[in-house]
Structure 1
Amino acid sequence: MGLWNRPAAQGETFPSSKEFGVPRMYLERHISSEDHRYWVQYTVAFQTERDVVAALTANDVHKTIENAPENLVTLIEVLTMHLESLINDPLFAPVPAHNPGGLSALFASTAQRSKPDTRNRTLEALNCCRVLTRVIPFVYESTPGPRKDSDIHDLELRALWTPLLRGSPEALSPPTTPSPKLGNETAQEEIRATSGQFILTDGDESMLSNADKTSGRKDAVLEDMPAPRSHSNASKSVMTGHALLNTVMELLFHAGFTLPWTPEQLSVDDDENVSRVHFTIWEAGIGCSVDLENTTSAHMERRTEVMRLLISMLSKPMYTTPALLMQTQFTALDFIACDLERPVVLSFLCSLLNTISNYRQADRWSLVGARDLVRDIHTSVCFQVLGALLSYEDSSMNQVKKNMFRHYVMKLYRVSDFAFLATGISKVFGECMSETRGAFELGDTMNGMFVKPGEEHASELLAVLWIQLKINADFHRFITRSRQLSLDIFSWLMFVALANKDAAATLSQAQLAIFLLQDLTADRMFCVHLTSVQSLADLTIPTRYLRLHGEVAMDVLIEGVFTLFTKSNGLMTPMYPFLLLILFNAAPFWRNLSVISAARLEILLRQLSSPRFLLAEAGNPRLLGILLNAFSQMLQHQFSNNANVVYALVRSASVIDRLKSFSLEEALENIYRVRQYAANVNPMPQSKPLPDPAASEESKAQEEDTPEKIAGTNSKLESSSAQAEQASPFERPDDQADTKNATAQAPQSPALSKAQLDQVARSVGRNGFVPTNEWVESWHASLHLSVLGKALDELVPRVNSFCTDPNVANSANADEKILAYLREQTLAGVLSPVEETQSQPFVWNNDSYLWLQNYIWGIVYLAGLPLGVWTGTHTKLFNVRFEEAAGTTGSRVLDAIVNLTSGLMATAAQDVEKVAEHNANT
């Protein structure tokens, strides 16, 4: 080991020296692993992660892969073995010195003093982690293929997953404690003998720990570590990747390095018998009721760096094309998720869950030397690791194996554990919503570093929460059976959707919130809570994002959906099916909706059924069908409790009648007449002023006539709804008048020729779509108009007859009288009784899995950007776009991050269209 103390090249700069520095990696072939004087520099030359990124540039690594790939393989192997040797080194994170007294102190003072050790083993371990974190993404990025003068065809396979014969020299000996995966039979038996505190088996599983029954700290995994395993000098075949992952897990639980020493460890007389790797839970919460005392910010910072190495090892999906994502085996993910021993999985899982749930809880933490920034970054990395592990689907793996992290999250069942998780969720979202500068913004925290601030954890939490609700039915029920939690989570998700609806950089957060709302509204109790008395008063959505009205939270749901349709600058277009499915799920529970909510629904109905919208895209009629089904469910289950909505449907009876007899020729003629009338009424000015960009965009939106231009273009609302809509910025009386007047002129308009009809058909479709009669017949027959048709055929004559009464027709409060009349009506005998409500939860398939992977790894990529973790690599799962921005260095960094996120979410937006199509068709 003496070679590790030798200086690097005297008088040379390590990053630039061609003889002794980084360039030697690609200038010289086959550098021996025994050349310790060279390789040692990678463990001592750096002080921070940024130093590593600056020294190992992307150009250097790419040159090494191209010219001397075997040197990169050697670097990974040497650093991995050095990490293993450090864990076995008694001077690495040594046991704290005892304070001897009496004769012991006398003998200690007269003993011969050994030569002081100047090695900084902690820095060596951190630098090994930093260098490996830097180079492994390049290994994943590399494409298999023949290389000049090299037998390395697949660099990843050779560097990480090829079994190599490895001896056990003293300097590179294995750890003193059993490896999480590789241990002898005696060690494994001892692990099993000491791991019963979870009371968690494969049959009946709970996370109940004996810590709740005893005083003091009783870990839920291993109260006492097994004895050190014996070592053999015999060579054995081990994959470097597996050895590195084992070492990483041991480093995450290494006393004195990432964990504090416990009294039990320090009570051992002989330091050589102290168990240094201790699989204990980092914080109080699930599986353990007491915090790990004496945890310092240094422990947390080292743990963060080790977890960054773990994320780098797990990052292979980022460098896999979407087309191959479901067919590719991710060896590192597979090993961590499926092959670790049960005590290690439980310790790590509970540590991650507890860390994110304890985040910034006021009275929980008083760390020695702690800073908020340290815990912010640590929590973010825990979120990233947890998201990557929990999102690794069982279906993408060999069916013989099981993702044990998902398995044990599924097995959680204690109410106290669910309450603990819910409290943590509340803390993160509550802090996010309290920010006045806006959601999910990146800011300058200290020393010019751009990191994700506290509220930014909501981005990662969305994914973790979605997965938890998906795989744990008990947790899903715990949330939806609680009125307060249901209203809280509804507030959070609606806030996230509204805050990010028109920002391309964070659009996927809005999309994920909508996915979650679709899932939750498919639960009956969740919708019941939204219509409970005074539920509106218990919502916490900031009023700057939404105008609150009515008396129940269901009014806010409809207002939120309407806002997402109308004020997203077109970015929410792929989300229309999910928004309408939310209405469909909630419709059987609409009760006493306000006048404004009824008006919103009427406007959506008129716009989605307009000829121009129906003929614009092949999938648009499907959107109309979802809304029609929502109205049908309301009529079947809540007719007597929704006079305002029923009145809106009665006013829209002509819309339903037109849909019954819808034909392509009539629709095209209608579109032609509206265009002609608009051209005659609003001729082009002779002197054209300079164009106004804002006005041009508005005109374009009007021309497209999508739900983004919600303006009631087919008819004016009656007095009650018209008054409710006066405050809406999207009301355009001119559009309404155009349609009404154009329709009135219909009898005088000559029929269009076939050539004219074909021309209109080609112009109305988007992206090359041209509607045909066969296409219209394919969807028109599937429109569910029977319930609406029967109800309106019965109600419209009744209301017309009632309105013939002069006391009603000439009354100033005619609307109120009509509403009172409708409340007295019944559809008994008209509609067949229906007991079961219908709902459509989010449907998981390959496209949704791809979208989630894109989201999670996009967040991971963004979080690692300030430190340069992925700098110089080219991802394949999503596209990354950097744009040089003018301004200060800080503004350029921030603009680069924003532009990067926009690129990530653009890919996600394309993927979400596939998810939407699958969900709407199910």
Structure 2
Amino acid sequence: MGSADSKLRFRSTVLRMGNSIDIPTDSSYWKIFWRDPESIADVFELITNAELRAIRERNQKNFLNLVRIVTYRLLSLASDSRFPSEHVSEKELLNCCRVLTRLLPFVYELPELKPAEKSMFWSLSFGYATTSFHKLNSANSDSATVGTDMSSHTSSGASTKVRLVLACVQLLFTRHFTVEAKSEALGTDYSIWEPGIGCSGAFEPPSTKFDANRLEILRLLLTLVSQCMYNTPKTVTDQGSRYLTCLVGATPRLQMLTLLCSLLNTACRVSRNPNENGLVFLSAPAMELRHLTVTYSIQLLVIMVVYPIPQDVLFMKQTSITEKNPHNMARYFLGKIHKEPEMKFLCGSLMSILVNPVSYTAEQEASSAFTIMKKSSGDPPTWALEIVILLWEMFQCNKHFRGYISRAPSTELSTTLLYYIFTYRNVEVYSGFVRVCAQFLLHVSSDTQFSTQLLKTFDLQQYLILPQNFMLTSKGDVGTYRDFMVTQLSTMLQNDNLEAEPANALTSTLVEILYNLVPIAIPEAEATQINGGQSTTKRTPYGGLSYQACNSLTQLVVRFSSAQFLLVPGNSDLLALVVSTICHSITRHTKASRTLIFVIARNHALYKGVLQSVNTYKPMEVEEEPEEVEDHVTDSDDSRPPSIRNSISSPRPELGQLSRQNSFGDAPETTEVAVVGEFDKEINQALRAVQPVGMSLRAKGKQPKDAPLSQTWPGHKALRYILATVELLIQEIPEFNAFTALESIRILSRVELFDYAGVFGRLALAPEYSRATEWQPLRFAWSAMALGWYESIIWGCVFRANELIKGKCLSKNASKLEAGASWFGWGKNAASAESQAVDLPSRVLLMSTPWVETQFLLFSIKQQSKTGLRNGYDMADSLIRRLSDFRLTKRNSVSSVNSVASDELRIDSPVASQFIPSRMASVGSNHTPRNSISSAGVYSGIQTRKFSNE
């Protein structure tokens, strides 16, 4: 359809479906959908979303018949042993994929169509008969018999949509279509796309043809399983997606292993240098094509691994898909990776994607121009959200990976996660990404093996290559990684506007991370083993907190005890958590806590003031800020997060914001208005860690209604223990009132040797603070609502992937990369000759997402203001993109009525910032919707060799 006339004819023909006349299923009319379109733009842009809805409403039968007939045609072509060849058209199959990608969101969005969709595609009476349909639908047939009455087709053992899912997997490994073949033989070849897990070898330049075909199939697969987008966060884990259930639960072992390894290795390849990562092309469309293929590969992998099997699985038994309850085999197989080289490859590749923007050496600055260009944008890495989620999932489902990353990479991972929280916590468009980082950091901080590694001394060389604004403001020793994290967390919590109402939803999670970090210490018998045989510094024996970290912690206590802070509902619990973790550290590790006790004793009056503030607190009272802590670290402007330009959409909800990177990188953004959803309170409650004794909802429910804070504050016991201990210490060491700096070491030694056991015996410590009981860190527990939030973030990321890649990776960097290719010769090794073609990529690239303007419920869209200066940028950007598209395609086109300027779209979070503490079910509980699979199963682990049918 190169000419405008042919496009108009196609458009008018399609609109005939909206007439009152039912089109027979055996009419030649249906052939236009797989024979006429030349590109995906023909399918998406010639008919608007409003016109598709009008067709659906006026003649639902025609609309559903189109979906069904195109599905059958795709299955017929995919099952033909001659595909792809001149006898079985590759173009027709791709057009079938495009039409289904276009239509399925409009099937999913309408609840009234669910019964019809289940009847058509999940009932055996409407099943797909390979023999009969193939005979009627032969590729060589010129007859008009597309199909007779579909209800007459008998089933060959599985429903239509199961076959469609499996056909898509098969098409991803079809010779001469998506994988290379050494001979002219056709059919499937289950060989892994890239070297890495399950396959060894050298990296080859990516094939534009294979990438284009893979992109079409991956996009269809994502659309097929996107039913999840049309459920609310509260119901998505129960409802799920039948297609996704079949994909992760019914795909045969060989296909599943090959698919997982291909997707995983594709994700890992992007961490390589520019000559090997396969991302650098001289042609902007080819570059966009490769980036999108990588993006959809990573996102499909994440969706498969995260997916919890829903309650709706009876259909799998009814349609003979399986006789047993299905399990998420993608998650199972990922949990079976165990060999040391595989762990090193996975961890090194995934961590490299996250760490490169945080710390890079002077040598990298000089040699890796591509990396520097990415860093200059001020945005997180392109796939940062997906990689963080993948690391989190691997940490949960693979004990071998958990053990590996809890060793050497633990310090690098925790520092990197903290950096992203520090840098982007106040940038609304990254709220979802930051929240995932925070929840992941909370999860790993509750793991004893992981957190103990943070007691290592911070490597000076690693510290010096951190971004300047992320370094500590004071000079001198950094101390341990735990010291650095405690100081940064305390500083962040002090600098943020915590009196705002509703309070920042991130604050509670940061306090919970702090709660987990403070009380950890090295057992005396192991004190020389943590740092590779070197003991910790004399000033902080047994991994105790440094002086700077203790000072920051004390400042935070004072900050949290202010009347302005306590006015916000729930903030008194945050103060109680900080005081409680200090008490745990003192009562459980007295020798390691000597510096902390020293600092508290020096600021004894301030801690007494905290108790007085709580006891005399009145809801409407606002007092002056308490005096500053002695010898505190001075805050500076460098400690604040830098301004972020060129914001991209945040990983989905906190149901994050959706935006496409503007072609004009410095164009100003309009003010965003937060939209509060109906699930805010439940999501915030679900994301809270299981609270300690006395702070759960059940404990609060037993308190008198409207009782003053002096009677209900859960930190009373901890603060009284701290004050009583310090007061007895001061009586024993009167020099606390006045001593010189030279005498501080002697005072610290006396603090360490003080008789704490006798003091604690007299105080009769509560069981939760006694050494006789095991300290319990705060653990994040999965629930249905928490998983709903999690999935909404992932699907929001999928929703805006197309515009993110188009805007961030191409519009901004294309000219720089051309220069880089010229200067450094990237194009010689990173791109093949066919990658320079413009026509092939342009036929498969979309201007917008397949789900745009559909009524999804998992997250919400916020319209951006179109007033002021921004409007001029939007108009210019839209015009340039259209002119660029005209230049690249070199053909006439009909203006797209439904072309959406993606700058107008934002994913908005339905999550309010107020937290409500809640006791969730244990992670190991049977009530958690995460599908726990025993290692004793039918399937064996992944072998590190190429899979094939042979």
Q: How does 1:82-481 map to 2 (within 5 A)?
A: 82-89=73-80, 92-94=83-85, 121-144=89-112, 154-163=115-124, 164-168=126-130, 172=134, 236=156, 239-262=159-182, 266=184, 274=185, 276-290=187-201, 296-362=207-273, 364=276, 372-394=287-309, 398=313, 400-433=325-358, 455-480=381-406
Aligned to 1:71: 62
Q: Secondary structure at the match of 1:555?
A: helix
Q: Does the alignment pair 1:555 with 2:483?
A: yes
1:149-206 per-residue CA deviation (whole Å, 9 max, x = no partner) reads: xxx7734334533441544467736999xxxxxxxxxxxxxxxxxxxxxxxxxxxxxx
Q: Aligned equivalents of 2:294 and 2:107: distance in 1? A: 27
Q: 1:369 to 1:900 in 2, by over 3 A?
A: closer
Partner of 1:486: 410
Structure 2 contact 83–186 (Cα < 8 Å) conserved:
no
Q: Return closer, same or farther for 1:261/1:908 CA change in 2, 3 Å cut-off.
A: farther
SS across alignment from 1:322: coil
Question: Is the alpha carbon distance of 1:812 and 1:559 closer, same or farther for their aligned partners in structure 2, counting shifts above 3 Å?
Answer: closer
Give the whole-Å Cα distance in 1 for the aligned partners of 2:612 and 2:437: 38
Tell me if 1:602 matches 2:583.
Answer: no
Q: Pick from 7, 26, 35: which aligns with 1:34?
A: 26
Alignment TM-score, normalising by the size of structure 1: 0.70
Q: CA deviation at 1:121?
A: 2.1
Matching residue of 1:907 = 910
Alpha carbons of structure 1 residues 292 and 782: separation in structure 2 relative to 1, 3 Å: same
Comparing 546-555 and 576-585, the one that deviates more: 546-555
CA distance in 2, matches of 1:72, 1:245: 21
Cα distance, 1:635 vs structure 2:
0.8
Tell me the CA shift for residue 372 of structure 1: 4.5
Distance 1:801 1:287 in 2: 65
CA spacing shift, 1:810–1:333, aligned 2, 3 Å: closer
SS in 2 for 1:774: coil
Question: Which moves more between the two structures, 778-787 or 881-890?
Answer: 778-787
| Cα distance change, pair 804–287 in 1 and its aligned pair in 2 (3 A) | closer
Alignment of 1:606-621 (within 5 A): 606-617=558-569, 619-621=570-572
Displacement of 1:492 in angstroms is 1.8
Deviations 1:549-599 (CA, angstroms, capped at 9, x unpaired)? 522211221133124324455697212222122122112236343333222
Structure 2 CA distance for aligned equivalents of residues 452 and 241 of structure 1: 43
Where in structure 2 are the equivalents of 1:734-745 lying within 5 Å?
none
Structure-2 residue corresponding to 1:855:
793
The answer as to whether partners of 1:140 and 1:316 remain within 8 angstroms in 2 is yes
Unaligned runs of 5+ in 1: 1-6, 95-116, 145-151, 177-231, 267-273, 437-443, 446-450, 679-712, 732-771
CA contact (8 A) 2:468 2:638 kept: no
Deviation at residue 810 of structure 1 after TM alignment: 7.2
Query: C-alpha offsets along residues 759-799 of structure 1, whole Å, 9 cap, x if unaligned?
Result: xxxxxxxxxxxxx9734469946735545534532332443
> Alpha carbons of 1:464 and 1:847: their partners in 2 closer, same or farther (altered >3 Å)?
same
User: Could you tell me which residue of structure 1 aligns to residue 872 of structure 2?
Assistant: 887
Counterpart-to-counterpart distance in 2, 1:803 and 1:835: 33
Aligned counterpart for 2:617 among listed residues 657, 667, 671: 667
Change (3 A) 1:794 1:465: closer
| Aligned equivalents of 2:348, 2:857: Cα separation in 1 | 37
8 Å Cα contact 2:198/2:261 also seen in 1:
yes
How many residues of Structure 1 are paired with residues of Structure 2 in the alignment?
Answer: 719
Q: 1:793 to 1:169 in 2, by over 3 A?
A: closer
Between stretches 787-796 and 21-30, larger displacement belongs to 787-796
Residues 558, 610 of structure 2: 8 Å contact kept:
no
Contact 1:492 1:541 in 2 (8 A): no
In structure 1, distance between residues paired with 2:336 and 2:861 = 38
Partners of 1:589 and 1:663 in 2: CA distance: 28
Which TM-score applies when normalising by structure 2?
0.68
1:624 to 564, 575, 593: 575
Among candidates 506, 511, 529, match of residue 580 of structure 1 = 511
CA change 1:295–1:596 in 2 (3 A) is: closer
The structure having more radius of gyration, on CA atoms, is 1
Deviations 1:709-736 (A, max 9, x none): xxxx222322x22xx23647999xxxxx
Measured at CA, do residues 898 and 462 of structure 1 come closer, stay the same or move farther in structure 2, by a change above 3 Å? farther
1:431 Cα deviation from its structure 2 partner = 3.7
Residue 135 of structure 1 aligns to a residue in which SS?
Answer: helix
* Local SS of the residue matching 1:464: helix
Query: Which structure has more RCO (C-alpha within 8 Å, separation ≥ 6)?
Result: 2
Between 373-382 and 342-351, the greater mean CA deviation after superposition = 373-382
- Residue type of the alignment partner of 2:75: E
**What letter is aligned with 1:78?**
I
Q: Tell me if structure 2 keeps the 8 A contact 1:529–1:535.
A: no
In the alignment, which residue of structure 2 is the partner of 1:715?
627
8 Å CA contact retained: 1:487, 1:535: no
Distance 1:536 1:31, change over 3 A: farther
Partners of 2:173 and 2:191 within 8 A in 1: yes
**CA distance in structure 2 between the aligned counterparts of 1:728 and 1:600, rounded to whole angstroms:** 17
Amino acid at match of 1:281: I
In structure 2, distance between residues paired with 1:366 and 1:667: 61
Encode CA deviations 1:315-357: one digit per residue, 9 max, x unaligned.
0111112332233252111111111212111111111111111
User: How far off its partner does 1:72 sit?
Assistant: 1.9
How far has the Cα of 1:834 moved from its partner? Answer: 4.5
Deviation at 1:236, TM superposition (A): 4.5
Q: CA–CA distance in 1 between the matches of 2:267 and 2:336?
A: 19
**Shift in Å, 1:477:** 1.5
Residues in 2 aligned to 1:788 and 1:452: alpha-carbon distance in whole angstroms: 42
Kept in 2: contact 1:536–1:552 (CA 8 A): no
The answer on whether the counterparts of 1:495 and 1:545 sit within 8 Å (CA) in structure 2 is yes
Q: How far off its partner does 1:309 sit?
A: 0.3
Aligned residue number for residue 871 of structure 1: 852
Give the equivalent residue in structure 1 for 2:751.
Answer: 822
CA distance in 1, matches of 2:72, 2:481: 59
Determine helix, strand or coil for the equivalent of 1:284. coil
1:23 to 15, 19, 26: 15
In structure 2, list runs of 5 or more residues that go unmatched: 139-151, 314-323, 362-369, 372-376, 522-542, 641-702, 761-769, 804-846, 882-899, 926-950
Is residue 360–residue 427 contact of structure 1 (8 Å, CA) maintained in 2? yes
AA aligned to 2:851 is W
Partner Cα distance (1:153, 1:365) in 2: 42
C-alpha contact 2:11 2:47 (8 A) present in aligned 1: no
Check whether the contact 2:233–2:785 (CA below 8 A) recurs between aligned residues: no
Instruction: Name the CA shift for 1:726/1:373 in 2 (closer, same or farther; >3 Å).
Output: closer
User: How far apart are residue 429 of structure 1 and its match?
Assistant: 1.1
* Equivalent position amino acid for 2:858 in 1: L
SS at match of 1:725: coil
Residue type of the alignment partner of 2:590: F
Cα distance in 1 between the residues matched to 2:504 and 2:277: 44
Query: Is 872-881 or 794-803 further displaced after alignment?
Result: 794-803
Alpha carbons 2:544, 2:594 under 8 Å: kept: yes
* Distance verdict in 2 for CA 1:890–1:340, change over 3 Å: farther
State the shift of 1:310 in Å: 0.3
Q: What's the offset of the Cα at 1:520? A: 1.1
2:598 maps to: 647
Q: What is the CA distance between 1:622 and its match in structure 2?
A: 2.3
Q: State the one-letter code of the partner of 2:910.
A: T
- Structure 1 match to 2:774: 836
Aligned-pair CA distance for 1:890 = 7.3
Take 1:67 and 1:848, find their aligned partners in 2: how far apart are those partners?
Answer: 39
- Aligned-partner SS, 1:880: strand
